[in-house]
Chains A and B, each alone.
Chain A
Amino acid sequence: MQNTSVDFERQVTIKLADAKLQQALSRLQSRFVEGRAAVISEISDFEETRSAAAAIRDRVLNDLEHWLMHFEQQATARGAIVHWAETAADVNRIVTEIAALHGVRTAAKSKSMVSEECGLNDALELAGVTVMETDLGEYILQLAHEAPSHIVAPVVHKNKEEISDLFAEKHQLPRKTGIAELCREAREVLRPAFLNADMGISGANFLVAETGSALIVTNEGNGRLVTTLPRVHVAITGIEKVVPTLEDVTTLLRLLPRSATGQSITNYVSVLTGNKNKEDHDGPEHFHIILLDNGRSSLIGGEMQEMLRCIRCGACMNHCPVYQNIGGHAYGWVYPGPMGSILTPLLGGLEKSPDLPNASTLCGACAVVCPVKIPLPDLLRKLREKQMERGMKSRRETLSLKAWAWLALHPPVYALATKFGVRMMSLLGGKNKLLHTLPGASGWTDGRDFPAPEGLTFREMYQRRNRQ
């Protein structure tokens, strides 16, 4: 997928004014945020489990080479073929080659954010392979030619009426209005796609080194269908997704669905190891696993390594006041919200996403909910520091920071300036004590009024108290 995050600021203005989007986003709040809150209490010691999960991810990341090699060895021993891809383009080339090798004409695909990173569908279509997205959300997006706006609920930005219209137009069937009817229609349209596909494409939520397995969580059952019915299965995932043992992955599974959708467990958890035996009636004859780097290895051993703990639950975006107001598309690439504001610049280049590290109030909600304890605000702050070091901040921002630094180093001038500033603003605030415009801060005051300061400055109050 093309990275358009450089356009962030303009997109934000558009998204904030989009009333339909605003209504759609409010549903995330009620379902996912409240759902998570209700279900984490089922775990007696949630904090202890989070720490254990973070430790499991760190164990792998601190020794990624060995765990990857062990995974490869086990997977290969069971008949899977492991491919390594340095870039998104390599993934597309490998999948296209696999398709050609096995004479694949149609592919059924379950949700995979890594394949979105690669823009795999376009590459396959170019090679003459018809690809059908089968996750309901992804299917809707494929029909509408849109990108996902959330890593767990890809179509959260659309309401039921839009989906009714879309189905009526594309399926050429009478327009349905109920959600259950729409789901039934999609099921019936997609069933033949599963049955006829030569190749199934999936992601993998985790790779288990102990057994060489790919683990997939789904609710709809499409993940099971695309990995059971077609004669070829290709699983695509990032190199960081390895987990040592079945016990380790179980600890992570206690947190993933709870953090993502507020479920104790997803409907299906499939642990897939190798290809089918000759006597088996189902399962793929060929199982390919593609491990994508795409910039991930550059984070190993550095100050941003913690980001690779991410298990893609989406909790950070569900709880982010910025995401809650602008949705996922504004972020301009596959990964939105706090994790995207870090991953997009890290994987795609800081220069291409100048706004993303700043698209956060640093309120800290993301770090509080992250199941693998990624210090997201700290990482955002580090990215901001990098921008500063590389002189990537605007002249105005650099100048005003310099001015502030000078003031802070000259306390008497600082005291005078704040005293004067506060009196001025208080005067300008008038009867309502609100400032509608502030010179140099229109970015704030365009969207809301600024409460005018009242009374004395902190320093004045402090001095007065000391005197008493």
Chain B
Amino acid sequence: MNAREKILGRIRNAQARTNGAAVTATHTEAVASHLALHPRGPLPPHPDNLLARFKECALKLSSDVLETGDRKEVPTLLARYLNERNLPVSGVCWPSLAGLPWSTAGLDMQPRPAKNQDLVGVTGAFCAIAETGTLMLLSGTETPATTSLLPETHVAVLDPRRIVAAMEDAWDLLRREYKQPPRAVNFISGPSRTADIEQTVTLGAHGPYRVLLILAPA
């Protein structure tokens, strides 16, 4: 017998002892129906204003937030943000954002996955969650995971209409638009941080030091 059979066998025997032996068929059904229904647990109250709630929570997580009604304005907003902080004005962006007028705003954003040297990474987002001020990013060929991870500054361009109330709503959106989750679903809630030394929170551990959210309709 291999390890798998031994472990599962021990569990089966133990459960037969407590549950009575003849439950296999009903259990398989119970498993299937729970999976099919995937019921939600207790939810926080639905916020009256998703956008306001999202911004409030994102700021609490030390993300920066900018807004514009016109997606073409995104490069100008970003250029101002970077210049004000004396940050480098070149980096990488997701290919889907390559069409924005970066160079007009004085920025050099290469549409490719991030490497170690890249200091600014611009991504989109699958959606965002108002409950905690969190971004949801899906990995993929056109949406590399490194862009939000290796650079010191992560900029996410987000359509405010893609803000949902809770993580449960984000899962529903994922189920609606994709058959199955991609290799990596990454929920990002502000700049990376550590509190390992003397339980003192320090921003910028192994991931970005700062996260800028630019809300702009697609």
In the complex, whether A13 has a CB less than 8 A from a CB of chain B is: no
Contact indicator A274/B186 (Cβ below 8 Å): no
Residues of B with C-beta under 8 A to A187: 204-206
Residue of A nearest to B13 (CB): A301
Of A82-90, A334-342, A375-383, A412-420, the segment with at least 4 beta carbons within 8 Å of chain B is A82-90
Contact indicator A224/B207 (Cβ below 8 Å): yes
Contacts between chains A and B (CB distance < 8 A), count: 250
Known: A62-B19, A179-B197. A239 touches B7 (CB 8 A): yes
In the complex, whether A297 has a CB less than 8 A from a CB of chain B is: yes
Nearest CB of B to A210, in Å: 6
- CB within 8 A of B194: which of A78, A183, A277? A183
Residue of A nearest to B205 (CB): A220
User: How many chain-A residues does the 8 Å CB contact rule pick out?
Assistant: 102
Contact indicator A28/B199 (Cβ below 8 Å): yes
Q: Mark A282-295, 1 if CB is under 8 A from B, else 0.
A: 11000000010100
Contact indicator A266/B146 (Cβ below 8 Å): no
Interface residues of A in 293-322 (CB under 8 A from B): 293, 297-298, 300-302
Known: A31-B195, A63-B30, A273-B180. A179 touches B17 (CB 8 A): no
In the complex, whether B21 has a CB less than 8 A from a CB of chain A is: no
Contact indicator B192/A268 (Cβ below 8 Å): yes
- Bound: A66/B15 CA distance, A: 11
- CB within 8 A of B11: which of A31, A179, A300? A300
- Bound: A168/B200 CA distance, A: 20
Residue of B nearest to A228 (CB): B145
- Bound: A268/B185 CA distance, A: 10
Contact indicator A183/B57 (Cβ below 8 Å): no
- Bound: A138/B50 CA distance, A: 38
Residues of A with C-beta under 8 A to B193: 219-220, 267
Contact indicator A222/B206 (Cβ below 8 Å): yes
Residues of B with C-beta under 8 A to A276: 183
Interface residues of B in 31-49 (CB under 8 A from A): 31, 34-35, 38-42, 44-45
Contact indicator B14/A297 (Cβ below 8 Å): yes
Of B73-81, B98-106, B133-141, the segment with at least 4 beta carbons within 8 Å of chain A is B133-141
Known: A44-B45, A277-B183. A27 touches B116 (CB 8 A): no
Q: Mark A131-155, 1 if CB is under 8 A from B, else 0.
A: 0001111001000000000000111
Residue of B nearest to A224 (CB): B149
In the complex, whether A398 has a CB less than 8 A from a CB of chain B is: no
Q: Mark A153-165, 1 if CB is under 8 A from B, else 0.
A: 1111001100100
- Bound: A453/B35 CA distance, A: 61
Q: Mark B1-30, 1 if CB is under 8 A from A, else 0.
A: 011101110111011011100000001101
Contact indicator A66/B28 (Cβ below 8 Å): yes
Known: A245-B38, A267-B193. A66 touches B181 (CB 8 A): no
> Which of B7, B113, B116 is the most central at the interface, judged by chain A CB atoms within 10 Å of its CB?
B7
Residues of B with C-beta under 8 A to A195: 116
- CB within 8 A of A273: which of B3, B45, B182? B182
Contact indicator A297/B10 (Cβ below 8 Å): yes
Residues of B with C-beta under 8 A to A239: 7, 11
Nearest CB of A to B85, in Å: 16
- Bound: A153/B196 CA distance, A: 6
Residues of B with C-beta under 8 A to A209: 35
Residues of B with C-beta under 8 A to A28: 199
Nearest CB of A to B75, in Å: 24
Known: A267-B193, A301-B18, A302-B14. A247 touches B206 (CB 8 A): no
In the complex, whether A265 has a CB less than 8 A from a CB of chain B is: yes
Residues of A with C-beta under 8 A to B197: 136, 140, 155, 160, 163, 179, 182-183
In the complex, whether A130 has a CB less than 8 A from a CB of chain B is: no
- CB within 8 A of B189: which of A31, A84, A159, A267? A267
Contact indicator B144/A272 (Cβ below 8 Å): no
Residues of A with C-beta under 8 A to B15: 62-65, 300-301
Nearest CB of A to B216, in Å: 24
- Bound: A265/B184 CA distance, A: 18
- CB within 8 A of A52: which of B41, B45, B181, B204? B41
Known: A183-B205, A265-B187, A282-B144. A66 touches B27 (CB 8 A): yes
Residue of A nearest to B41 (CB): A251
Residues of B with C-beta under 8 A to A86: 3, 6-7
Nearest CB of B to A258, in Å: 11
Contact indicator A245/B207 (Cβ below 8 Å): no
- CB within 8 A of B145: which of A134, A136, A283, A291? A283
Contact indicator B4/A49 (Cβ below 8 Å): no
Q: Mark B133-165, 1 if CB is under 8 A from A, else 0.
A: 010000111001110010000000000000000
Contact indicator B189/A265 (Cβ below 8 Å): yes
- Bound: A264/B208 CA distance, A: 19
Contact indicator A280/B183 (Cβ below 8 Å): yes
In the complex, whether B188 has a CB less than 8 A from a CB of chain A is: yes
Contact indicator A282/B205 (Cβ below 8 Å): no
Residue of B nearest to A190 (CB): B206
Q: Mark B100-125, 1 if CB is under 8 A from A, else 0.
A: 00000000000001001000000000
27 A–B contacts, CB within 8 A, in A order: A49-B42, A52-B41, A65-B12, A84-B3, A85-B3, A86-B3, A179-B198, A195-B116, A211-B180, A213-B185, A220-B192, A221-B205, A221-B207, A225-B206, A250-B41, A251-B42, A254-B41, A268-B207, A270-B186, A270-B187, A273-B185, A275-B183, A277-B183, A281-B141, A283-B145, A300-B10, A300-B11
A residues within 8 Å of B by Cβ? 24, 27-28, 30-32, 42-45, 48-49, 52-53, 56, 59, 62-70, 78, 84-86, 90, 134-137, 140, 153-156, 159-160, 163, 179-180, 182-184, 187, 190-191, 194-195, 209-211, 213, 219-222, 224-225, 227-229, 239, 244-248, 250-251, 253-254, 261, 264-277, 279-283, 291, 293, 297-298, 300-302
Please provide the 5 A-B residue pairs with the shortest distance between their CB atoms, ordered closest to farther.
Answer: A221-B207, A251-B41, A220-B205, A301-B14, A137-B196
